[in-house]
Amino acid sequence: MNQAAPFRIVETRRPFKGKVVTVRVDRIVDDDGQTGDREVVEHNGAVAALVVDDDGMVVLVDQWRHAVGARVLEVAAGKYDVDGEAVEDALRRELAEELRVEGGTLTFLASFYTTPGWSDEVLDLYLAEGVTPIEGDAPAADWEEQGIEVVRVPFEEALRRAAGPPGDAKTLVALGLYGLKLAGSWAPDQADRPPPDAPARRAAGRPG
């Protein structure tokens, strides 16, 4: 498969830089001299885990999402927003903050672009099994996550409820892959798991 871009970038500017995202505008030109602008939302990426407890129950979070103005049922997830933090360390921090759990085994499932039509965000997805409740004080959740509720349901109910409408994409991907794994028709390749410094590597590969 030809991986070469059908155009080249002749100018890059970043008119907006926020706390979470940066907007990049690339001026592109093809071999025939046609030009155009491509607006890209740069995002540091995120990590998420489908948590399955020792009873086979799926553990999700129900939380308010300001962008859509609704509560959404999701796998536990968080942004790569701590400089130098390794991928799996970031995930364990999120599991501690959102679900108040620790330990267990992390199995890599997949890395995927969440919205490749307009953003370079990559989400690294894992399966977390054998986690245990944190004894004593757990890390404090972000104040913006107030009202978050932990939901523990069987796989079939998780799939039904996560479908929405509309549902959360990363959660549907996680449940779909887990279902294939349970059926024995698919197995994740651990050789594909992201390196510890994956977020920094991805940021370094951006234009300009």
Please give the helix or strand (H or E) that residue 112 lies within, else none.
strand 105-113
Express each pLDDT in 171-193 by its tens digit: 999 999 999 999 999 999 999 99
Give me the mean pLDDT over the 15-31 stretch. Answer: 97
Q: How far, in Å, CA of 41 to CA of 119, rounded?
A: 5
Q: Which of 11, 39, 144, 157 is catalytic?
A: 144
Q: Are strands 149-153 and 58-65 parallel, antiparallel or unpaired?
A: antiparallel
Domain ranges of the chain: 8-42, 44-186
pLDDT one-digit tens code per residue, 67-122: 999 999 999 999 999 999 999 999 999 999 999 999 999 999 999 999 999 999 99
Phi and psi angles of residue 25, each rounded to the nearest 5 degrees, phi first: -115, 120
Length of the chain: 208
To the query of whether residue 129 is one of the catalytic residues in this protein, the response is no
Q: Are the CB atoms for 173 and 111 separated by under 8 Å?
A: no
The topology (CATH level 3) of 44-186 is Nucleoside Triphosphate Pyrophosphohydrolase (3.90.79)
For the four alpha carbons of 153, 155, 160 and 166, in that order, the dihedral sign comes to positive
pTM here is 0.95
